Chain A
Amino acid sequence: MSTFFTNARLIDPKAGTDEPGNLLIENGHIVARGAEILSPEGVQVVDCGGKCLAPGIVDLGVKVCEPGERHKESFKSAGQAAAAGGVTTMVTRPDTTPTIDNPETLEFVTRRAKEAAPVNVVAMAALTKGRAGREMTEIGFLMDAGAVAFTDCDHVVTSTKVLSRAMTYARSLGALIIAHPQEPILSQGAAATSGKFASLRGLPTVSPMAERMGLDRDLALVEMTGVKYHADQITTSRALPALERAKTNGFDVTAGTSIHHLTLNELDVADYRTFFKVKPPLRSEEDRMAIVEAVKSGLIDVISSMHTPQDEESKRLPFEEAAGGAVALETLLPAAMRLYHAEQLTLPELFRAMSFNPAKRLELPGGTLDEGAPADLVLFDPDAPFVMDRFKLHSKSKNTPFDGQRMQGKVLATYVAGSCVYRRD
């Protein structure tokens, strides 16, 4: 089983290159690449027509609503959405009902994913039981069962004592902890970022400073315990100096952000449009620009979709009552292309944050075009224009903030371990 991709524009985030070339895959792995390599006899040839071929996206922080809310999203629908969005690995969140906080539920998830999803799925598990912030989960057993990281998602472990013990224990096992940096008391009940816009709309707010406070505490605990730490979403400029300091001082710290915080700002909420309600809330334009800059410099390592399906009922409510989150597996790549077309980030920089860095952080194979890497690939046209229609999404839930918007960037085909899992008709 070999495929030869010819006439491709190869995006290599590891080398930071964007150049024409060919790529040969065999038995699910990349075996050769370059401008000069030729097609061997008898292999399937894919003419890329000059379009981009990049390592498939490794999406850190996808919510699939199994178990518990399959009407919102199942492994099948999320897997199809991922394939259509160029996501070759979904790293799933444990904030389901019930929480994935023991090896048995984790095994259920792994089995369901294998049965139903056409892309790779690796699961994260909760850091504390029920994500309640009181007792740590069986980190050792969960790692044996395949958990790649431990996170309470958007629940902050309020007790610093509990978190410090969980971190100490996780450090002894080499486990990665992913946290949501936020001062939980200050941000209680908030639906928007404090500022002019929220003041006009009369929404309960949280200061952007709450993110920095949460990060400051977490980083102090990292210094104390030596644990491997990743901040799930850094969305404000005020949090960046602390992050930079921690990295400079050699702590094992990385950070991510969401595609929504990179491409939208607080004003997009407009007349209480609940599809724009995410957690943390959308920030000011100044913050958005600072975060784009931080992705460019590499201070922020990872861009995720933070895919969070919500049904219509959860969103057709007054803004304060409406559920947060947006689906984004399928819109991650086209939304990222906005940053490329605005000349704010190059394609290798984008794929460094969407593929290479998340794979590296989770110690997964992939995220590169190196020989020997798994043939998880996305073929896309960064320029193709379209108008987003939410009812055409593969996700069961259609809560995207990009509905009706003009976008550029279409996924043409997605390959997982060398097999085509999606092809645009």
Chain B
Amino acid sequence: MGFAQRHLLGIEHLRPEEITEILDLADQYVELNRRDVKHSDTLAGLTQINMFFENSTRTQASFELAGKRLGADVMNMAMQASSIKKGETLIDTALTLNAMHPDLLVVRHPHSGAVDLLAQKVNCAVLNAGDGRHEHPTQALLDALTIRRAKGRLHRLNIAICGDIAHSRVARSNLILLGKMENRVRLVGPPTLMPSQISEFGVEVYEDMAEGLQDVDVVMMLRLQRERMDGGFIPSEREYYHRYGLDADKLSNAKDDAIVMHPGPMNRGVEIDGTIADDINRSVIQEQVEMGVAVRMAAMDLLARNQRAHRATQTAEI
């Protein structure tokens, strides 16, 4: 059985074979994206709506580009600016959009579970582009593709995810995905930024960077949100950088060929040293951005195929 999902709401719902299928297809789209003519008609005639209830430049651009390269008609809606201010509920917004017959809805929302809720109310494929602190599945998939291409495999690797785990949907999706693909995942960060009882998910938790990075194959840094830097969760930016910022010294604990990742946008000098981020031998941060477009193309392609098949059976029944 191949990729059998109707929506892409979280990594939690995916089987390992489905993850592999998305990544295999994404590999093909990486090739397409590197050609001069980067166009395919896979999604021609379909309408993709990007609904972002939370600010985003990078993810939205990546989804937009992915849709356009596959020939979909793409529309962006900045939701903070519109109906939310007028008091419309999320479900009403969803129903309104649904009436316009979109085929793919890409949704980001500041509250955990909001995208699941919306998906129950529309009859098209929904892609979660990040919901609160819950999941950000395409980010985890693009990270997985980046790792697979850099390391030649996506299993039996030692991977450290470092920084603000508690507020990070990227960390959640990644630890679920990497766990499903049978890697050893470590979480490294100050205890104030660590979710409670997270060790029960089969991950190892470290409070010390040097220990946590010991012999890892992959170092995944997370962004520290500005609003968390003012003494509430950590004492100061400079103390955080001293203890948890990735510099050459801390990175020397990892394997010699360890790669460095960051979901962006980076705070240079807060969670990562600029020279490390720019080191082409270690940093795969630019590749991550490239893989992002390919992975999103693959995910939308697979969801559109399932949707077509589903609609065909419905028509047949009539």
Contact = CB atoms under 8 A, between A and B. Distances in A.
B89 interface: yes
Contacts of A200: 12, 172, 201
Nearest to A312: B91
B134 A199 contact: no
Contacts of A319: 111-113
Identify which of A201, A202, A271, A317 gathers the most chain B CB atoms within 10 Å of its CB: A202
B198 A272 contact: no
B90 A207 contact: no
Nearest to A205: B196
B196 A207 contact: yes
B269 interface: no
Interface in B58-108: 89-91
Interface residues of B, number: 24
A272 B172 CA distance: 16
Interface in A309-333: 313, 316-321
B135 interface: yes
Contact of A318 (B111, B135, B169, B195): B111
Given A194-B196, A196-B200, A316-B89, A321 B111 contact: yes
B43 to A, nearest CB: 28
Contacts of A241: none
A205 B133 CA distance: 12
A201 B112 CA distance: 7
A20 B111 CA distance: 55
Interface in A285-318: 313, 316-318
Interface string B237-258: 0000000000000000000000
Given A202-B134, A202-B135, A202-B172, A318 B112 contact: yes
Contacts of B114: 318
Nearest to A197: B197
Interface in B192-245: 195-198, 200-201
B11 to A, nearest CB: 11
A203 interface: yes
- Secondary structure call for the B interface: mixed
Contacts of A203: 112-113, 132-133
B280 interface: no
B204 to A, nearest CB: 15
A141 B12 CA distance: 57
Interface string A321-364: 10000000000000000000000000000000000000000000
A320 B169 CA distance: 16
Contact of B112 (A194, A272, A313, A316): A272
A195 interface: yes
Given A272-B112, A318-B109, A319-B111, A199 B196 contact: yes
A199 B135 CA distance: 11
B95 to A, nearest CB: 11
A201 B134 contact: yes
A272 B89 contact: no
B309 interface: no
A421 to B, nearest CB: 38
Contacts of A205: 196
Nearest to B135: A202
B18 interface: no
Contacts of B135: 202
A317 B196 CA distance: 25
Given A271-B116, A272-B117, A320 B196 contact: no
Identify which of B89, B131, B197, B201 gathers the most chain A CB atoms within 10 Å of its CB: B197
A129 to B, nearest CB: 30
B201 A320 contact: no
A320 to B, nearest CB: 5
Contact of B197 (A199, A201, A204, A317): A199
Interface of B: 12, 89-91, 109, 111-114, 116-117, 131-135, 169, 172, 195-198, 200-201
Given A196-B201, A202-B133, A272-B112, 4 more contacts: A196-B197, A199-B195, A199-B197, A317-B90
Give the top 8 A-B pairs by smallest Cβ distance, nearest first.
Answer: A272-B113, A202-B133, A202-B134, A199-B195, A318-B111, A318-B114, A202-B112, A194-B196
11 contacts: A196-B196, A199-B201, A202-B131, A202-B134, A202-B135, A271-B113, A271-B116, A313-B89, A318-B112, A318-B114, A318-B132
